[in-house]
A and B are shown apart, each in its own frame.
Chain A
Amino acid sequence: MKAEELTALGQHRLAKAFDVILLLALIGFFTVIPHVSRMLYMGDWDFWVDWKDKLWWPIVGPASALLVTTVGHYLAWYYLRLPLGATFAAVCVLIGAWISRIFSFYGLEYYPLNFVWPATTIPMALALDLILFWSRSYLVTSFVGGFLWGFIFYPINWLMLMPFLQPITLFGKTFTIADLMGYYFVRPQTPEYLRRIDEGTLQAFLGQRIWISVLTAGVACTIVYWVGIGIGKALGVMPLNKVIRQT
């Protein structure tokens, strides 16, 4: 084998190894960072089934989940022109959330998994990527995809939540199954009066308050989309451009 061939083979192997390391690093980043972001901003609304309500969860949930997902969405499109970044990030964060639920909530604390399941964002991420792929415009994606992200978060996750909203009567009092699980599986430092759910501010809309929540979530996500793009630009593009300019 000639020296040139050996060098080419080495370069090929080096490039492959670099790709694998980069992919592993990206999986690690998009598993951990969005998970931390969700824990900070969504917190108890994402942790417990009895916190998943019609007022706060549909607004806080998608807005906080979109923040870091947009970073992946933006970087994949900017560098690779691949409309897969949001989906990749959403899959990673769901895997991270389930690792946390299984090993921490169930393994350490012994909460059953049906009490602590995390919300999914994969369908909305697919929609976001698809709209960017069709429109090739961040502006259109922010208005249509960002809005859709907030708007369909509740209906999609409602399929998983719905069984837990059935009524149960115990000693003459009626609860939902989710309520009863919250009382039964004790959380000593999260007393019942701290549970911020279905506060009275939207009761004036009677049965229509979920529409107010999902529309508000849609508008909020349109704005959060641009915050995510800004973070992606500041952390993933500007430092690299600076290095390239210096060299």
Chain B
Amino acid sequence: MSRCGKLCATLTLALCLCTTGVSPPGVSRVQAHGEHNLEPFIRMRGVTFFNVQFTHDQLKVNETMTVTGKFRLMHAWPRMLTTPELSWIGILVPGPKLAVRERWINGRFIQNSFHTELGEIYDFKMVLQARQPGRYHIHPLVNLSGTGGLVGPAKWITVVPGDAPPSYTVEVAATGEIIDLEHFGFARHRPRTLRIRSNS
């Protein structure tokens, strides 16, 4: 094999190893969200997270955990970004492997968007429910209108299989019926037994 051929073969092998996730010893695999790739002026002059705490690092499917902390919209907001008026908190996770059951801002239950002002400190709490087994890098996330999502410090959370498939039951206000959001509307009711009229 010529030198050029050997070089090509080596490069192809290295590329295959990289793309299949096999890394040489001493080199860690990157599985996070690239939060440090965010421009420093956004991280330092945009939203600052502090006192962020996760109650668990391992959960069974259907078990819940709580993420608490505070974030502040800095006064020195970058002028090239739109001043945010609406915000929404959540988590950065690859798909709803963990779902958000509750969102609390300054002690109030706020599931939808809320008004924010620069310079203010917001106390947040989220209750997460595990849905699918795996190991996930979870960030608290603040979405700001006109700016996008800004993430806080993360933690690796391991979800292990539970005793039952994922389930979140709630009560319908009008009828009192208990439904499961995981398959509501797709479940089939058991058909009633047909009454066959006798001619005799």
Contact = CB atoms under 8 A, between A and B. Distances in A.
Nearest to B170: A168
B101 A184 contact: yes
A169 B173 contact: yes
A60 to B, nearest CB: 22
Given A110-B96, A193-B143, A171 B170 contact: no
A210 interface: no
A179 B181 CA distance: 11
Contacts of B143: 188, 191-193
A169 B171 CA distance: 8
Contact of B99 (A114, A166, A171, A185): A185
A203 B139 CA distance: 38
Contacts of B175: 166
A191 B96 contact: no
B113 A108 contact: no
Interface stretch (B7-15, B50-58, B64-72, B84-92): B84-92
Interface string A130-152: 00000000000000000000000
A181 B185 CA distance: 12
Contacts of A174: 173
A41 interface: no
State which size class the interface on B falls in.
35 or more
A175 B172 contact: no
B184 interface: yes
A167 interface: yes
Interface residues of A, number: 34
B19 interface: no
A19 B155 CA distance: 57
B149 A167 contact: no
Contacts of B131: 110
A188 B136 CA distance: 14
B173 A184 contact: no
Interface string A186-230: 111101110000000000000000000000000000000000000
A112 B173 contact: no
Interface in A85-122: 108-114
Contacts of A175: 111
A193 B149 contact: no
A175 B172 CA distance: 10
Given A110-B96, A184-B100, A185-B99, A168 B168 contact: no
Contact of A173 (B98, B111, B181): B111
Interface in A148-168: 160, 163-164, 166-168
B121 interface: no
12 contacts: A114-B183, A163-B184, A163-B185, A166-B173, A180-B111, A184-B99, A186-B93, A188-B93, A189-B149, A191-B88, A192-B143, A193-B145
Given A170-B111, A189-B149, A193-B88, 10 more contacts: A109-B96, A110-B96, A112-B183, A113-B186, A166-B174, A167-B172, A167-B173, A180-B111, A188-B93, A193-B113
Nearest 10 A-B pairs (CB), nearest first?
A109-B95, A191-B143, A171-B109, A193-B113, A191-B88, A185-B96, A193-B86, A183-B111, A114-B185, A167-B173
Interface of B: 86-88, 90-103, 109, 111-113, 131-132, 141, 143, 145, 149, 168, 170-175, 179, 181-186
Interface of A: 108-114, 160, 163-164, 166-175, 177, 179-181, 183-189, 191-193
